[in-house]
Every structure is written in C-alpha cells, then in structure tokens.
Amino acid sequence: MKEDILTTQDLHLYYGDKEALKGINLDFDEKGITALIGPSGCGKSTYLRTLNRMNDLIPNVTITGTIKFKGNDLYAPSADTVQIRKEIGMVFQQPNPFPFSIYDNVIYGLRIAGEKDKERLDAVVEKSLRQAAVWDEVKDHLHESALALSGGQQQRVCIARVLAVSPEIILLDEPTSALDPVSSSQIEATLLNLRHDYTIIIVTHNLQQASRIADRTAFFMNGELIEVDQTKNIFMNPANKQTEDYISGRFG
C-alpha cells in the first residue's frame, strides 16, 4: 500500500461563529490527481486553503483538528508556514503572474531563496516551463513581461513558477474557471503530464473536468465530505444519494 503523504483528521474550520468545515477526514497518497467537487459554498476551496495554511491570512478564522504532511502536524506551533508553502505549492483561480518578465516569474522563489548560479537558473526555467507545457510558446520572449501573455499562458507560467520551487504537492483552486475552453484543455493536458511526479489536488466546478483528469474525486456539501472514491466509481456508481443527485445535475 502506498504511503499517505497528507492526512486530515476531524478538521473543523470556523469563520467567526459560522462553521464552514464540519469535521473533514480525508487522506491523500503520493502522486496522482484528486479532484474536490461540490456546489458553491460547500467548503471545498476553504478546505484546499487549509492544506497550505492560506486561511491564516483571513482574520477571525479558527481551525481545529489535525492535518499532517508526511507525519508532521501542519498546525503545530513550531510549523514553518514559509517552508510548508514551498513544499505545498498553490495555483489560483485568477492567473496571478508578478508584473515582471516570464523568466523572473519562474525563478522568483529560487532567486529569493538565494540561488545565483545562472546556468542552474536557466535550466530550472526551461525545465519548469516545459513541464507546464508552455515552453514552446514563450521560449523566444522569456525576458518580456508575463502580463503580456494570454490568460491561459499566464496560468501555465504560474504553474511553472510553482514547479520551480520543487514542491511535493500542488494545490489548484479552480485553475481554469477564468479561462477559455482551449486554454482549459491545455491546462488539463499539463496536469495529466504532472500527475506521475506530483500529488495534485484540484478544486473544480467543472464535473467533466474532474471526470477527465482526476484519479480520485471527493464530493463536498455544506461543509462536509460526503463521499470520496475512484473517479470512475463516483461518476458511474456513487454510493451516496446526494452524490448521485449532484453528479446527475439534479441540483448545484
């Protein structure tokens, strides 16, 4: 059996008094893609953002329960959020390249970490952009601003930027919902390439997308995890009535 890289036990999250996550138990083993689906406001994005402690930025959030990354408690007092976010990278709904060149965007994390060797940086830029399947489109203007790219290219540069710091887990929060269908399918192809090397957790509104790319799918509703299984089972033969209703489009 493969080892779980990330485990969640009895995770509750409150915005002030409102309970947004009501005791989530969910484990992820290494590599592969897990999709988190569910109606708007079901807590799937909130859950994703607890995994690299991005919810820390929101005032008035209380979190109880345990999240362990390779056995280490992410919320232990000694946990280093900076280190956590290096190992658990994140791509957002809105492509958010920094207002610098493509090259600088990709190596930003490394450069700030102190890497100066030009050859190594060049190599990382090429490797990351290739992995993100955007190298051929941008290789001739690496030193132009990333903001001049199309939305889909920007999003893949953002993926490359995450890959450049060599994370083990990549979280994606509806990465294609702001993109056109062509760009979306390019991102999907990119993710399918990456699934052998990284543990990928993706929140998506798009059920077809989940069924196309995910190995495993988790269905959330009203702050609870209703069902998690192989994607095939979730879509063809869900165990839970609510899942079936949602999948078949009866609500949400």
Partner 1 sequence: MNSKTQNKVAIGSLYGIAGLVVLILLALLGYILVSGVPQLSWHFLTAPGKAFLKGGGVGIQLFNSFYLLILAMLISFPIALGAAIYLYEYAKDNWLTTTIRTAIEILSSLPSVVVGLFGFLFFVVKLHLGFSILSGAFALTFFNLPLLTRSIEDSLRTVSDVQREGGLALGLSRWETVTRVILPAAVPSILTGVILSAGRVFGEAAALIYTAGQSAPALNFTDWNPFNISSPLNPMRPAETLAVHIWKINSEGIMPDAKAISSGSSAVLVIAILLFNFAARYLGKRLYKRLTSA
The token pair at 248 is 């078949």
161 binds partner 1 (CB under 8 A): yes
Report the residue from 145, 177, 233, 240 that binds partner 1 according to the rule CB under 8 A.
Answer: 145
If one asks whether residue 22 binds partner 1 (CB under 8 A), the answer comes out as no
Nearest to 181 by CA among 205, 152, 210, 154: 152
90 binds partner 1 (CB under 8 A): yes
Closest distance to partner 1 from the beta carbon of 243 (Å) = 30
Decide: is 162 part of the binding site for partner 1 (CB under 8 A): yes
Residue nearer to partner 1 on the CB measure, 165 or 225: 165
- In the chain the beta strands, taken as DSSP E runs, fall at 4-15, 18-29, 32-37, 61-69, 72-73, 88-91, 169-173, 199-203, 216-221, 224-230
Q: Are 15 and 182 in contact (CB under 8 A)?
A: no
> Judging by DSSP bridges, how do beta strands 61-69 and 224-230 pair with one another?
unpaired
Residue given tokens 């051929």 in the structure block: 136
Binding segment toward partner 1, per CB under 8 A, in 6-14, 27-35, 89-97, 223-231: 89-97
Residue 148 binding partner 1, by CB under 8 A: yes
Residue 182 CB burial class (10 angstroms; 0-12, 13-18, ≥19) = exposed
Angle formed by the axes of helices 151-164 and 102-112, nearest 10°: 20
Separation of alpha carbons 38 and 2, rounded Å: 27
Binding mask 184-213 for partner 1 (x = CB under 8 A): ------------------------------
For partner 1, the closer CB: 73 or 144: 144
Our finding on whether 44 is near partner 1 (CB under 8 A) is no
The answer to the question of residue 158 lying near partner 1 (CB under 8 A) is yes
What are the helix (H) ranges across 90-206? Answer: 102-112, 118-131, 135-138, 151-164, 181-194
79 binds partner 1 (CB under 8 A): no
CB of 139 to partner 1, least distance (A): 16
In the complex, which residues of this chain contact partner 1 (CB under 8 A)? 52, 54, 57, 59, 82-87, 89-90, 92, 94, 96-101, 108-109, 112, 143-145, 147-148, 158, 161-162, 165
